[in-house]
Protein backbone atom coordinates (compact mmCIF):
# COMPACT_ATOMS: atom_id res chain seq x y z
CA UNK A 1 0.00 0.00 0.00
CA UNK A 2 1.33 3.42 -0.97
CA UNK A 3 2.53 5.84 1.70
CA UNK A 4 0.07 8.23 0.09
CA UNK A 5 -1.83 8.68 -3.12
CA UNK A 6 -2.62 12.10 -4.55
CA UNK A 7 -0.73 15.36 -4.18
CA UNK A 8 1.97 15.69 -1.55
CA UNK A 9 3.35 19.19 -1.03
CA UNK A 10 7.11 19.68 -1.02
CA UNK A 11 6.61 22.39 1.55
CA UNK A 12 8.84 25.44 1.99
CA UNK A 13 10.62 26.24 5.24
CA UNK A 14 9.56 29.80 6.17
CA UNK A 15 12.26 32.05 7.61
CA UNK A 16 12.33 35.06 9.91
CA UNK A 17 14.12 38.25 8.87
CA UNK A 18 17.19 37.13 10.85
CA UNK A 19 17.35 33.88 8.86
CA UNK A 20 16.02 31.59 11.58
CA UNK A 21 13.20 29.12 10.93
CA UNK A 22 9.79 30.72 11.43
CA UNK A 23 7.87 27.97 13.22
CA UNK A 24 4.74 30.07 13.68
CA UNK A 25 4.45 30.51 9.90
CA UNK A 26 5.34 26.88 9.31
CA UNK A 27 2.37 25.85 11.42
CA UNK A 28 0.14 28.22 9.42
CA UNK A 29 1.38 26.75 6.16
CA UNK A 30 0.77 23.20 7.40
CA UNK A 31 -2.80 24.11 8.37
CA UNK A 32 -3.36 25.85 5.02
CA UNK A 33 -2.28 22.70 3.21
CA UNK A 34 -4.44 20.35 5.25
CA UNK A 35 -7.48 22.64 4.97
CA UNK A 36 -7.11 22.74 1.19
CA UNK A 37 -6.92 19.03 0.50
CA UNK A 38 -3.23 18.21 0.30
CA UNK A 39 -2.74 14.47 0.67
CA UNK A 40 0.70 14.47 2.34
CA UNK A 41 3.36 16.81 3.70
CA UNK A 42 6.91 16.35 2.43
CA UNK A 43 9.10 18.24 4.89
CA UNK A 44 12.76 19.22 4.49
CA UNK A 45 13.11 18.35 0.84
CA UNK A 46 14.78 20.52 -1.79
CA UNK A 47 11.93 23.06 -1.61
CA UNK A 48 12.35 23.14 2.17
CA UNK A 49 15.97 24.31 1.78
CA UNK A 50 17.29 21.22 3.53
CA UNK A 51 20.75 21.81 2.07
CA UNK A 52 21.22 24.97 4.17
CA UNK A 53 19.59 23.78 7.39
CA UNK A 54 21.90 22.53 10.12
CA UNK A 55 21.30 18.94 11.20
CA UNK A 56 19.74 20.27 14.40
CA UNK A 57 17.40 22.60 12.50
CA UNK A 58 16.57 19.90 9.97
CA UNK A 59 15.49 17.46 12.64
CA UNK A 60 13.61 20.07 14.64
CA UNK A 61 11.61 21.10 11.55
CA UNK A 62 10.80 17.43 10.89
CA UNK A 63 9.77 16.87 14.51
CA UNK A 64 7.66 20.04 14.55
CA UNK A 65 5.79 19.11 11.37
CA UNK A 66 5.04 15.58 12.56
CA UNK A 67 3.77 16.92 15.88
CA UNK A 68 1.57 19.62 14.35
CA UNK A 69 0.10 17.44 11.59
CA UNK A 70 -0.63 14.81 14.24
CA UNK A 71 -1.45 11.95 11.85
CA UNK A 72 -4.17 13.87 9.99
CA UNK A 73 -2.27 13.16 6.76
CA UNK A 74 1.06 11.40 6.19
CA UNK A 75 4.30 13.30 6.80
CA UNK A 76 7.28 12.24 4.69
CA UNK A 77 10.63 13.50 5.95
CA UNK A 78 13.47 14.34 3.60
CA UNK A 79 16.47 12.60 5.16
CA UNK A 80 18.77 12.06 2.21
CA UNK A 81 22.41 13.08 2.05
CA UNK A 82 25.46 12.52 -0.12
CA UNK A 83 27.04 10.98 2.99
CA UNK A 84 25.53 7.58 3.70
CA UNK A 85 26.15 7.76 7.44
CA UNK A 86 24.49 11.19 7.66
CA UNK A 87 21.45 9.85 5.83
CA UNK A 88 21.31 6.92 8.25
CA UNK A 89 21.42 9.30 11.21
CA UNK A 90 18.74 11.65 9.87
CA UNK A 91 16.52 8.72 8.88
CA UNK A 92 16.77 7.05 12.28
CA UNK A 93 15.92 10.30 14.07
CA UNK A 94 12.93 10.99 11.79
CA UNK A 95 11.70 7.47 12.43
CA UNK A 96 11.86 8.09 16.18
CA UNK A 97 9.68 11.17 15.71
CA UNK A 98 7.05 9.13 13.89
CA UNK A 99 7.54 10.02 10.22
CA UNK A 100 5.19 8.09 7.95
CA UNK A 101 7.80 7.91 5.20
CA UNK A 102 11.30 9.01 4.26
CA UNK A 103 12.36 10.74 1.04
CA UNK A 104 15.97 9.96 0.10
CA UNK A 105 17.56 12.06 -2.61
CA UNK A 106 20.28 10.37 -4.63
CA UNK A 107 23.80 11.26 -3.42
CA UNK A 108 24.76 14.60 -4.91
CA UNK A 109 28.27 15.70 -5.94
CA UNK A 110 29.84 12.27 -5.30
CA UNK A 111 28.26 10.92 -8.52
CA UNK A 112 27.93 7.35 -7.28
CA UNK A 113 27.84 4.42 -9.68
CA UNK A 114 24.68 2.31 -9.88
CA UNK A 115 26.44 -0.24 -7.64
CA UNK A 116 27.19 2.58 -5.21
CA UNK A 117 23.55 3.70 -5.25
CA UNK A 118 22.40 0.19 -4.38
CA UNK A 119 24.86 0.01 -1.49
CA UNK A 120 23.93 3.52 -0.28
CA UNK A 121 20.19 2.97 -0.29
CA UNK A 122 20.39 -0.57 1.07
CA UNK A 123 22.41 0.57 4.08
CA UNK A 124 20.04 3.43 4.89
CA UNK A 125 16.94 1.28 4.45
CA UNK A 126 18.33 -1.50 6.62
CA UNK A 127 18.85 0.98 9.46
CA UNK A 128 15.13 1.82 9.72
CA UNK A 129 11.74 0.19 9.18
CA UNK A 130 9.93 3.31 7.87
CA UNK A 131 8.85 3.13 4.20
CA UNK A 132 11.24 4.89 1.82
CA UNK A 133 10.72 6.88 -1.38
CA UNK A 134 13.80 7.23 -3.59
CA UNK A 135 14.25 10.68 -5.14
CA UNK A 136 15.73 10.84 -8.61
CA UNK A 137 16.64 14.38 -9.69
CA UNK A 138 19.78 14.15 -11.84
CA UNK A 139 19.67 17.83 -12.86
CA UNK A 140 20.56 18.69 -9.25
CA UNK A 141 22.59 15.69 -8.15
CA UNK A 142 24.54 14.73 -11.27
CA UNK A 143 23.45 11.17 -10.59
CA UNK A 144 20.66 9.25 -12.35
CA UNK A 145 18.91 6.31 -10.68
CA UNK A 146 18.43 4.00 -13.65
CA UNK A 147 15.17 2.02 -13.89
CA UNK A 148 17.02 -1.27 -13.39
CA UNK A 149 18.57 0.07 -10.19
CA UNK A 150 15.29 1.36 -8.77
CA UNK A 151 13.57 -1.93 -9.50
CA UNK A 152 16.40 -3.99 -7.99
CA UNK A 153 16.17 -1.93 -4.81
CA UNK A 154 12.37 -2.19 -4.60
CA UNK A 155 12.45 -5.95 -5.14
CA UNK A 156 15.29 -6.67 -2.72
CA UNK A 157 14.80 -4.11 0.07
CA UNK A 158 11.48 -4.47 1.85
CA UNK A 159 10.94 -0.86 2.91
CA UNK A 160 11.95 0.80 -0.37
CA UNK A 161 8.46 1.26 -1.76
CA UNK A 162 8.41 4.32 -4.03
CA UNK A 163 10.31 6.72 -6.24
CA UNK A 164 9.92 10.43 -6.89
CA UNK A 165 10.87 10.64 -10.55
CA UNK A 166 12.13 14.11 -11.47
CA UNK A 167 14.44 13.29 -14.34
CA UNK A 168 11.95 14.80 -16.78
CA UNK A 169 12.51 11.76 -18.99
CA UNK A 170 9.13 10.20 -19.76
CA UNK A 171 10.80 7.33 -21.60
CA UNK A 172 12.82 6.49 -18.50
CA UNK A 173 9.68 6.56 -16.34
CA UNK A 174 7.90 4.26 -18.82
CA UNK A 175 10.79 1.79 -18.77
CA UNK A 176 10.81 1.89 -14.96
CA UNK A 177 7.11 0.99 -14.77
CA UNK A 178 7.49 -1.74 -17.39
CA UNK A 179 10.31 -3.36 -15.42
CA UNK A 180 8.71 -2.81 -12.03
CA UNK A 181 5.50 -4.71 -12.72
CA UNK A 182 3.88 -3.09 -9.70
CA UNK A 183 6.75 -3.40 -7.21
CA UNK A 184 7.31 0.37 -6.81
CA UNK A 185 5.02 3.39 -6.40
CA UNK A 186 5.74 6.16 -8.88
CA UNK A 187 5.37 9.83 -7.92
CA UNK A 188 5.89 12.64 -10.40
CA UNK A 189 8.61 15.02 -9.28
CA UNK A 190 7.71 17.57 -11.96
CA UNK A 191 4.52 19.60 -11.80
CA UNK A 192 4.27 19.78 -15.59
CA UNK A 193 4.30 15.99 -15.93
CA UNK A 194 1.72 14.85 -13.39
CA UNK A 195 -0.82 13.51 -15.88
CA UNK A 196 1.78 11.79 -18.11
CA UNK A 197 3.23 9.90 -15.15
CA UNK A 198 -0.20 9.03 -13.79
CA UNK A 199 -0.98 7.55 -17.22
CA UNK A 200 2.01 5.23 -16.79
CA UNK A 201 0.68 3.97 -13.46
CA UNK A 202 1.83 6.69 -11.08
CA UNK A 203 0.02 7.22 -7.79
CA UNK A 204 0.61 10.94 -7.27
CA UNK A 205 2.94 13.90 -7.27
CA UNK A 206 5.39 15.46 -4.84
CA UNK A 207 4.68 19.02 -5.76
CA UNK A 208 6.07 22.55 -5.59
CA UNK A 209 2.85 23.92 -7.13
CA UNK A 210 0.91 22.59 -4.14
CA UNK A 211 2.50 25.26 -1.95
CA UNK A 212 0.39 27.93 -3.64
CA UNK A 213 -2.41 25.87 -5.23
CA UNK A 214 -3.02 22.85 -3.00
CA UNK A 215 -6.64 22.24 -3.95
CA UNK A 216 -5.98 22.45 -7.68
CA UNK A 217 -2.96 20.13 -7.49
CA UNK A 218 -4.92 17.61 -5.46
CA UNK A 219 -7.71 17.77 -8.04
CA UNK A 220 -5.34 17.09 -10.96
CA UNK A 221 -4.45 13.76 -9.36
CA UNK A 222 -7.83 12.89 -7.88
CA UNK A 223 -9.74 13.48 -11.10
CA UNK A 224 -7.35 11.18 -12.94
CA UNK A 225 -7.62 8.47 -10.28
CA UNK A 226 -11.42 8.81 -10.36
CA UNK A 227 -11.44 8.23 -14.12
CA UNK A 228 -11.97 11.84 -15.18
CA UNK A 229 -8.90 11.95 -17.41
CA UNK A 230 -10.25 14.87 -19.46
CA UNK A 231 -10.85 16.99 -16.35
CA UNK A 232 -7.42 16.09 -14.98
CA UNK A 233 -5.74 16.97 -18.26
CA UNK A 234 -7.55 20.32 -18.48
CA UNK A 235 -6.37 21.28 -14.99
CA UNK A 236 -2.81 20.17 -15.80
CA UNK A 237 -2.71 22.28 -18.94
CA UNK A 238 -4.28 25.28 -17.22
CA UNK A 239 -1.54 25.14 -14.57
CA UNK A 240 1.36 25.08 -17.04
CA UNK A 241 1.96 28.87 -17.23
CA UNK A 242 2.08 29.06 -13.43
CA UNK A 243 4.35 26.01 -13.24
CA UNK A 244 6.67 27.62 -15.77
CA UNK A 245 6.78 30.79 -13.65
CA UNK A 246 7.47 28.77 -10.50
CA UNK A 247 10.54 27.33 -12.21
CA UNK A 248 11.72 30.46 -14.02
CA UNK A 249 14.51 30.58 -11.44
CA UNK A 250 15.89 27.76 -9.34
CA UNK A 251 13.43 26.25 -6.86
CA UNK A 252 12.52 27.39 -4.18
CA UNK A 253 13.23 31.03 -5.15
CA UNK A 254 9.97 31.57 -7.10
CA UNK A 255 7.67 29.59 -4.81
CA UNK A 256 8.78 31.56 -1.77
CA UNK A 257 8.22 34.77 -3.75
CA UNK A 258 4.76 33.50 -4.68
CA UNK A 259 3.83 32.75 -1.08
CA UNK A 260 5.04 36.20 -0.06
CA UNK A 261 2.88 37.75 -2.80
CA UNK A 262 -0.08 35.85 -1.33
CA UNK A 263 0.64 37.33 2.09
CA UNK A 264 1.77 34.00 3.53
CA UNK A 265 5.06 35.47 4.81
CA UNK A 266 7.38 32.63 3.83
CA UNK A 267 10.28 35.01 4.31
CA UNK A 268 13.66 35.13 2.65
CA UNK A 269 15.98 32.44 1.35
CA UNK A 270 19.21 31.24 2.81
CA UNK A 271 22.40 31.96 0.88
CA UNK A 272 23.55 31.12 -1.69
CA UNK A 273 19.98 31.50 -2.95
CA UNK A 274 18.96 35.09 -3.62
CA UNK A 275 15.69 36.95 -4.12
CA UNK A 276 13.84 36.65 -7.41
CA UNK A 277 14.69 39.03 -10.24
CA UNK A 278 12.02 41.77 -10.55
CA UNK A 279 11.18 40.91 -14.17
CA UNK A 280 10.62 37.26 -13.29
CA UNK A 281 8.57 38.24 -10.25
CA UNK A 282 6.29 40.31 -12.49
CA UNK A 283 5.77 37.30 -14.75
CA UNK A 284 5.09 35.14 -11.68
CA UNK A 285 2.48 37.58 -10.36
CA UNK A 286 0.80 37.68 -13.78
CA UNK A 287 0.63 33.88 -13.94
CA UNK A 288 -0.76 33.74 -10.40
CA UNK A 289 -3.49 36.24 -11.27
CA UNK A 290 -4.41 34.34 -14.43
CA UNK A 291 -4.61 31.10 -12.42
CA UNK A 292 -6.85 32.80 -9.88
CA UNK A 293 -4.69 32.62 -6.76
CA UNK A 294 -3.69 36.29 -6.66
CA UNK A 295 -5.90 39.35 -7.03
3-state SS, one letter per residue, for 204-264: EEEECHHHCCHHHHHHHHHHHHCCCHHHHHHHHHHHHHHHHHHCCCCCCHHHHHHHHHCCC
Annotation says 256 is catalytic: no
Torsion angle defined by CA atoms of residues 78, 272, 108 and 105, in that order, rounded to the nearest 10 degrees: 20
CA distance 19 to 183: 42
Sort strands 101-105 and 185-188 into parallel, antiparallel or unpaired.
unpaired
Q: Which of 23, 68, 121, 164 is catalytic?
A: 164
Residues contacting 279, CB < 8 A, separation 6+: none
Instruction: Name the percent of the chain in helix, strand, coil, to the closest 5.
Output: 50, 15, 35
Sign of CA dihedral 161, 115, 47, 287: negative
Q: Which of 25, 121, 135, 256 is catalytic?
A: 135
Annotation says 164 is catalytic: yes
Task: Write out the catalytic residue numbers.
Answer: 135, 164
Amino acid sequence: MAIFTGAGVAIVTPMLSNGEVNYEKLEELLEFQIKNGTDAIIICGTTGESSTLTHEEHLEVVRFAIEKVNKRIPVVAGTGSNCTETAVYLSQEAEKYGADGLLLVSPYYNKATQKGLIAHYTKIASSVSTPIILYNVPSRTGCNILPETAVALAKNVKNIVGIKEASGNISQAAKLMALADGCIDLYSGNDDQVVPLLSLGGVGVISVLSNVAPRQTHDIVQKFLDGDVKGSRELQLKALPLVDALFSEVNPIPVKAALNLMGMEAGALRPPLTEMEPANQEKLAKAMREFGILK
